[in-house]
């Protein structure tokens, strides 16, 4: 059985891999199938039975209109997009300085950003709530955008500093020779060169913000301001009591599908982003 070349028989390797594939994929398929059932089918049929015809597509229109899923989507898109732009801008400018200029405060500043990534976000959660409250930014998308941009900022700086460090000096010098100032050199020469790093950071930060729950739930309490995860969490509590299971699964499926499609498109960049974050 145990051949010299393969200590674990191939069959067992494939079996484990396929088992895990099922463990990952089946819950998603189950969600999709359940989203088209009515309560009678939930109570009487087996959980894995196929939904009866006609399929209950109304579950989807129900969560979309009645529970304002459309609003959650819109909020999530706005908050994610704005947080990406702001955090990329703030991270790339500072990372460029930290990565390519030597000055006294360089190292302490870098270490400050780096060590802040180790500190649990929840420790600052309560004061941040009161700070946003004082600024009138509770229950506002602006408040969320600020909180999220600050939250993902150190990660962006961390990745981009190492990225800017690897870029060749010559291009920068050539730009100065051509009479470009610092600012122009950054925007028209260095920033375009860092494009793949920027994309990685944007994707990783986008994922973090899109999926974030705890700040979202603390900083908003009006349905009109909920992001997708917050709306989903609130919705499931209500649906549980009303036994609206079909719509609940429709909501889950709606939350999964867009991100899954984006994942399929950006799979390579996401993997690169993951790896970039781990290599110091």
Partner 1 sequence: MSPRLKRTGFIALFSLPTFLFFCFFTLYPILKGVQYSFYDWSGRSQKMDFIGFDNFKELLSDPIIWTAIGNDYFLVVGKVIGIMLLATFFALSVTRLKVKGKSIFRAIFFIPNVISVVVIGVLFRYIYNPNLGFINSFLSLFTENPVQIQWLGSEKLAMWSLLWPSIWAGIGFYMILLIAAILSIPAELYEAAELDGATQNQQFWKLSLPLIWEQIKVSALHITMTTLNGSFIIVWIMTEGGPDNSTQVMGSYLYQMGFRQFHMGYAAAIGVLILILSLITTMALQKLLHRNTIELA
Give percent helix, percent strand, percent coil of the chain, each to the nearest 5.
80, 0, 20
Q: Which two tokens stand for residue 97?
A: 């300085």
Measure the CA–CA gap between 82 and 62, rounded to whole angstroms. 29
Size of the site for partner 1 (CB under 8 A): 93
> Quick check: 201 and 155 in contact, CB under 8 A?
yes
Contacting residue, 61, 85, 174, 263, with partner 1 by CB under 8 A: 263
- Please, are residues 131 and 237 in contact by the beta-carbon 8 Å criterion? no
Question: What is the C-alpha separation between 229 and 239, in angstroms, rounded?
Answer: 15
Between 58 and 272, whose beta carbon lies closer to partner 1? 272
Q: Is 218 in the site for partner 1 (CB under 8 A)?
A: yes
Q: Is 139 in the site for partner 1 (CB under 8 A)?
A: no
Q: Which stretch binds partner 1 (CB under 8 A): 54-62, 66-74, 194-202, 206-214?
A: 206-214
Q: Answer yes or no whether residue 108 interacts with partner 1 by CB under 8 A.
A: no
Provide, rounded to whole angstroms, the least separation between the CB of residue 65 and partner 1. 20
CA–CA gap between residue 49 and residue 22 (Å, rounded): 17
Tell the smallest beta-carbon distance from residue 197 to partner 1 (Å): 16
Identify the residue among 77, 78, 114, 131 touching partner 1 (CB under 8 A). 131
Cβ contact 245:47 at 8 Å:
no
From 52-60, 61-69, 160-168, 228-236, give the range in contact with partner 1 by CB under 8 A: 228-236
Q: Provide φ and ψ at 84, rounded to 5°.
A: -60, -50
Strands (E), the chain: none
Closest approach of partner 1 to the CB of residue 86, in Å = 9
Q: Could you say whether residue 159 binds partner 1 (CB under 8 A)?
A: no
Is 170 exposed, middle or buried, given 0-12, 13-18 or 19+ CB atoms closer than 10 A? exposed
Helix (H, G, I), strand (E, B) or coil at 256: helix
**Tokens describing residue 234:** 């609130």
With residue 242 as reference, give the H or E element that holds it: helix 228-242
Distance CA(79)–CA(220), nearest Å, equals 13
Q: Residue from 119, 171, 174, 265 that binds partner 1 (CB under 8 A)?
A: 119
Q: Shortest Cβ distance from residue 147 to partner 1 (Å)?
A: 7
16-55 binders of partner 1 (CB under 8 A): 16-17, 20-21, 23-25, 27-28, 30-31, 34, 42-43, 46-48
Site residues (CB under 8 A) for partner 1, limited to 67-106: 90-91, 93-94, 96-98, 101, 103
* 138 belongs to the binding site for partner 1 (CB under 8 A): no
Site for partner 1 in 240-259 (CB under 8 A): 245, 248-249, 252, 255-256, 259
3-class state of residue 41 by DSSP: helix
Site for partner 1 in 161-190 (CB under 8 A): 181-183, 186
- CA 92 from centre of chain: 19
Which residue, 8 or 50, has its beta carbon nearer to partner 1? 8
């Amino acid at each position: 059985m145990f051949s010299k070349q393969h200590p674990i028989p191939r069959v067992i390797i494939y079996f484990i891999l396929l088992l895990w594939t099922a463990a990952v994929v089946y819950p998603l398929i189950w969600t999709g199938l359940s989203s088209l059932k009515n309560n009678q089918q939930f109570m009487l049929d087996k959980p894995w039975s196929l939904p009866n015809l006609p399929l209950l597509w109304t579950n989807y229109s129900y969560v979309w209109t009645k529970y304002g899923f459309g609003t959650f989507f819109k909020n999530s898109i706005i908050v994610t997009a704005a947080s990406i732009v702001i955090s990329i801008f703030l991270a790339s400018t500072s990372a460029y300085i930290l990565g390519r200029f030597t000055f006294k405060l360089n190292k302490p500043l870098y270490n400050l950003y780096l060590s802040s990534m180790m500190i649990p976000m929840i420790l600052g959660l309560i004061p941040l709530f009161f700070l946003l409250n004082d600024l009138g930014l509770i229950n506002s998308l602006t408040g969320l955008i600020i909180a999220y941009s600050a939250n993902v900022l150190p990660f962006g700086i961390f990745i981009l500093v190492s990225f800017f460090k690897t870029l060749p000096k010559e291009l920068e010098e050539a730009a100065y020779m051509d009479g470009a100032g610092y600012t122009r050199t950054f925007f028209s020469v260095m920033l375009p060169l860092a494009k793949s790093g920027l994309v990685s950071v944007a994707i990783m930060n986008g994922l973090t913000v899109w999926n974030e729950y705890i700040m979202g739930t603390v900083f908003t309490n009006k349905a009109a301001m909920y992001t997708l995860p917050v709306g989903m969490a609130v919705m499931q509590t209500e649906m549980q009591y009303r036994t609206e299971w079909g719509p609940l699964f429709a909501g889950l499926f709606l939350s999964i599908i867009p991100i899954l499609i984006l994942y399929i498109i950006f799979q390579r960049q996401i993997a690169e982003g993951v790896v970039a974050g781990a290599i110091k």
